Chain A
Amino acid sequence: MPPLKPSFFYTAYGLTIKSELALPELRSIQPVSNANITISPAEPSDAFNRENLNRNYWRATAHGFYMHIEDIGTDFHVTNGNRIIIETAADTSDFNIHLYLNSCMGVLVQQKNILPLHASCISKGTECIIISGQSGSGKSTLAMALNKKGYPLLSDDICALHFSQENPPFVYPSIPQIKIGADSANALKINTSNLNSTPSKHIVPIDNRSAERRHIIKAIFSIEQSDNDQFKIRDLHGSQKMAILIKNTYAPTELIANLGKSKIHFDHCSILAKLYKVKQIYRTSSLNNLPDLISIIENEFSNE
């Protein structure tokens, strides 16, 4: 009989996770008997079709998602909104695998009809403000600054929104960490000497026990770097709101369509556009405007 493998239990995106891989960046929980998601190596009974291409590759259908990462010789399968299967050689570093688990989670939550926005999110009491944007937009720096001022962090990268007939959309906490670049870390006086890093970002763990519950949305912002280095903020209307929500979803349109989730994604974005203000922030390249950005978000919590 093979030795029992240890299982690790976590929560993220409003879901419970049982994993054979240690994922210390996630929030740990007591063991549960029916975790929403299991993360494990392949079973002999898993029969996968593999394309033997010597490059990164993904394929998605309504039946599942598959991703091959050539650099680390690892295949990821995401099925039914409840399984992530990792096939890898024994010496692949855990850290490299972790970097790709975000993409897997982005797919998995869609399989469960949860909307993943590419967004940071901070909370005040039971409400939260979503700050969406592409990589490099400045959302993480702003979230880090707000977190340092005492606003609990709900998400930095993938913000998971749960929809239901009976309730307004809820945001659940994601992973308690923020990834920021060296300039932002300096400006915010964060000591990066003992932090894990990706090639371009430092990974700052966030301790925010108070953000463990679900939250209702107060407002949605989108942030991007200004073309002409002028600081500006404007309310979006009508189809512009939808366009931003679609653009800032944590998945390209092609992937959403391949997963068979086009209609539900469209409906979810429509609900958000109808219910909430969406404001576009154009930030300057310097961090001098950071206090202004912080005030804008803080004031939004006080608005009716």
Chain B
Amino acid sequence: MNMAKLNLNSTVTQNKETLSSAIDDELVLLSIINNKYYGMDSVGNRIWSLLLEPIMISDMIAVLTNEYDISAAECEKDVLSFFGELYSDNLIIVTDE
């Protein structure tokens, strides 16, 4: 489990050990590391595709605020919380880029 905290300047990307499958507009992930399944709705699906390449969290928030009806402040809070979970479960990794 990753205990370090993420911040707006963290660059994150998918952990390639994660299996994913898009069904309708939703996404299911399986972490081979911890053997847990995750179901995501269409927003989660969009976020996962944005994580294909390393992306700084602040850039992610900019994209999402543009695409969805959400304030920057609320988006920042939700993303940091959501990514915190994905990170501690090893679904995403921090890169140095």
Residues of chain A whose beta carbon lies under 8 Å from any beta carbon of chain B: 237-243, 246, 253-254, 257, 262-263, 266-267, 269-270, 273-274
> 1/0 per position for B4-46, CB-CB distance to A under 8 A?
0000000000000001010111111010100101011100000
Selected from B25, B28, B32, B39, the residue in CB contact (under 8 A) with A270 is B28
A-B contact count (CB 8 A): 54
Cβ 8 A contact of B23, one of A253, A263, A274:
A274
Size of the chain B interface, CB-CB below 8 angstroms = 15
Are A239 and B28 in contact, with the CB atoms below 8 A?
Answer: yes
Residues of A within 8 A of B27 (CB): 238-239
Chain B residue numbers with a CB within 8 Å of A241 are: 23
Complex A-B: 17 CB contacts under 8 Å: A238-B23, A239-B26, A239-B27, A239-B40, A241-B23, A242-B39, A243-B39, A257-B32, A263-B19, A266-B21, A267-B19, A267-B21, A269-B21, A270-B21, A270-B23, A273-B23, A274-B21
Interface of B is mostly: strand
- Cβ–Cβ contact A237 & B24, under 8 A: yes
Given A262-B19, A266-B21, 8 more A-B residue pairs with CB atoms under 8 Å apart are: A237-B23, A238-B27, A239-B40, A240-B39, A242-B28, A242-B39, A262-B35, A263-B19
Q: How far is the CA of A93 from the CA of B87 in the complex (A)?
A: 53
**Which chain B positions have C-beta within 8 A of A267?**
19, 21
Task: Give chain B's interface residues, CB within 8 Å of chain A.
Answer: 19, 21, 23-28, 30, 32, 35, 37, 39-41
Residues of A within 8 A of B40 (CB): 239
Q: Is the CB of B32 within 8 A of A238?
A: no
Contacts A238-B41, A239-B28, A239-B40 given; indicate if A266 touches B23 (C-beta within 8 A). Answer: no
Q: Is the CB of B30 within 8 A of A273?
A: no
Known contacts A263-B19, A266-B30; A246 and B37 CB within 8 A of each other: yes
- Distance from B48 Cβ to chain A, minimum over Cβ atoms (Å): 12
CA distance A242 to B41 in the complex (A): 13
- Evaluate contact between A257 and B35: CB separation under 8 angstroms: yes
The 5 A-B residue pairs whose C-beta atoms are closest, nearest first, are A238-B26, A239-B39, A270-B21, A238-B24, A242-B28
For residue B37, which residue of chain A has the nearest CB? A246
The interface residues of chain A lying within 8 Å CB-to-CB of B32 are 257, 262-263
Which of chain B's residues have a CB closer than 8 A to the CB of A263? 19, 32
Instruction: Give the docked Cα–Cα distance between A243 and B38 (Å).
Output: 9
Name the B residues within 8 Å of A270 (CB-CB): 21, 23, 28
Let me know if B39 and A238 touch, CB within 8 A: yes
How distant is B24 from chain A, measured CB to nearest CB, in Å? 4
A274 to B26, CA, bound (A): 11
A242 to B21, CA, bound (A): 9
A254 partner residues in chain B, CB cutoff 8 A: 35
B27 to chain A: closest residue by CB: A239
